[in-house]
Amino acid sequence: MIYLDNSATTKPYSEAMDTYRTVSEQFFANPSSIHSLGGKSESLLSKSREQVARLLGVDDGEIVFTSGGTEGNNLAIKGAALAYRSRGRHLITTCVEHASSMNAFRQLEEMGFEVTYLPVDHDGRISFEDFKKAYRKDTILVSIMHVNNEVGTIQPVREIGEFLKTKPTTVFHVDHVQGFAKVPLQLKNSGIDLCTISGHKFHGPKGTGILYVRQGTVIAPLLSGGGQEGERRSGTENLPGIAGMVRALRMTLEHEKDGIAHLSDLQAQLRKGLSGIENAVIHTPVSGAAPHIVNVSLKGIRSEVLVHALEKDEIYVSTKSACSSKDSGASDILMAMGIPEEEAAQAIRISTAFENTNEEIAAFLSALAENVQQLKTVMR
């Protein structure tokens, strides 16, 4: 099996799952219980938070554990908008956000907020100048995806963060789900107030995530309950998942530098191989893109047909975001980049992880070329 759909989810580290099982069995008590078993669970929860904070270079109180990227984005976007609506009702985002962010903004529009959706160029990147022109005195929230989940384009979040440092009435949220451990991003003193990270994107258990909330930033809770996570995210904490995620986080960051270099090498190999396949059009920009994603259209072949053909060879890629892949039609993100609808409907996403090898990429490219040739013959 060759798994090249790591932007959708990653295979959990066996060590992370070992931790999950151990904590499930030995620290099963509710961290909110006042008896000694609950105290042991609470202590492990606190240690997990401390480890995450140390690894991310932030303070313990700035870490909120969530169920993943969708919850993190919703909590950040809706929570900030609702908390600061007395300051204004204008919000800024892009037209190429993940569905969890995009639909949160649409819901806020229904509640009376005004949203500016920044356009992108042919590389899928917003203009910093467009952002500055869109900014207003009543802008209370800016939310930008760091790395696009379909094409890998990196947005100018560092520049935006620096700009917003001088705008204390505006909250800046970054969706860092795809960029984490592939495109490093400093949180401390960056101008970033809120940042979403998802555990299953770096080999942790599903149903786990982190929301960084800079000290002094207020978010309205979306869930009413017992006031866990500093009264920002009620609900009994998923302690086994949290512990497993922290183990995966530590392991991933230990290999980050070498891993990024390896991903860049795999991406170069993919680009070279794809350039030799007739009618292959790569949409991921050559510069300013994450090293683990390559989006390409094979003209004349619909993406889902090619995905299933490769599946027969036990090679797994995807069409677009996993959250949207079952929707029929072309990618909205590719069309926002100016790519014709027919060509956008022929795109596949190849996404790698540290564990993928050059031999796997070579085998994939060989199988892809063979399947493309066979499908074109059948379709004539």
- Residues with a known catalytic role: 323
User: What's the CA gap between 251 and 306, in Å, rounded?
Assistant: 34
Beta strands in the chain (DSSP E): 2-3, 63-66, 90-94, 114-118, 139-145, 171-175, 194-198, 209-213, 280-282, 293-298, 315-316, 347-351
- Residues with Cβ within 8 Å of 378's Cβ and at least 6 positions away in sequence, in order, are none
Could you say which DSSP state residue 313 is in? T
User: What's the CA gap between 260 and 55, in Å, rounded?
Assistant: 17
Count helices and strands in the chain by DSSP H and E runs: 13, 12
- Residues with Cβ within 8 Å of 361's Cβ and at least 6 positions away in sequence, in order, are 266, 269, 270, 273, 352
User: What's the CA gap between 99 and 242, in Å, rounded?
Assistant: 24
Q: Are 192 and 212 in contact (CB under 8 A)?
A: yes
- Residues with Cβ within 8 Å of 348's Cβ and at least 6 positions away in sequence, in order, are 295, 296, 297, 298, 303, 306, 307, 317, 318, 319
What phi and psi values does residue 292 have, to the nearest 5 degrees? Answer: -110, 0
User: What's the CA gap between 161 and 166, in Å, rounded?
Assistant: 9
Place of tokens 């384009």: 153
Q: Are 78 and 91 in contact (CB under 8 A)?
A: no
At CA 114, angle to CA 108 and CA 148, rounded to 5? 70
- Residues with Cβ within 8 Å of 2's Cβ and at least 6 positions away in sequence, in order, are 314, 315, 316, 356, 360, 363, 364
Q: Is 205 exposed, middle or buried (0-12, 13-18, 19+ CB in 10 A)?
A: buried
Place of tokens 């890629």: 317
